[in-house]
Amino acid sequence: MLKAGDRAPGFALPDQNGELRTSQEFAGRRYVIYFYSRDNTSGCTRQALSFRELYGEFQELGVPVIGVSRDSVRSHEGFAKKQEIPFPLLSDPETSVLQAYGVWQEKKLYGKVSMGVVRTAYLVGEDGVILKAYPRAKPDTNAGEILSCLREK
């Protein structure tokens, strides 16, 4: 998993509208990139809604928010419409970006071992270096924690 001081890996993935979004469009400004397991699951929905509720404040600070999961563009499209998500949700079915950020890991659930996304968020600086990592982010408080950090800087 990446940590503060590491360079944020580049990305080029489609969003919920099928539009290719790249790390280049966020160069020169701070941004939040968060990784979650699946659309329409309890924790992931709560996390997205938390970012949605605070999105205006992120915009006031000029800080874009980006969500990433393995879900398809179509799944993201439905999820974004249903939950009124105002920020890009990127589709990474091959897990290339998930792996680059170190969030695609072995997980254990009820004794079963499988690969999956460890809910994580990163605050990336204007220079493309990670300012702060939020490993095992809590769905209900993660957006607020990041916003507090941004206000302190």
What's the pLDDT at 110? Answer: 86
Task: From the candidates 33, 44, 65, 98, give the one annotated as an active-site residue.
Answer: 44
More confident position, 110 or 2: 2
pLDDT in tens, 22-32: 999 999 999 99
Averaged confidence pLDDT in the chain = 96
Number of residues in the chain:
153
**What are the structural domains, with CATH classification, of the chain?**
12-152 (3.40.30.10)
**CA angle (24 as vertex; 71, 68 as ends), nearest 5:** 15
Would residue 44 show up in a list of annotated catalytic residues for this protein?
yes
What's the pLDDT at 107? Answer: 87
pTM of the model: 0.95
Q: Report the number of secondary-structure helices (H) and strands (E) in the chain.
A: 4, 9
**Rounded to whole angstroms, how far apart are CA atoms 71 and 91?**
6
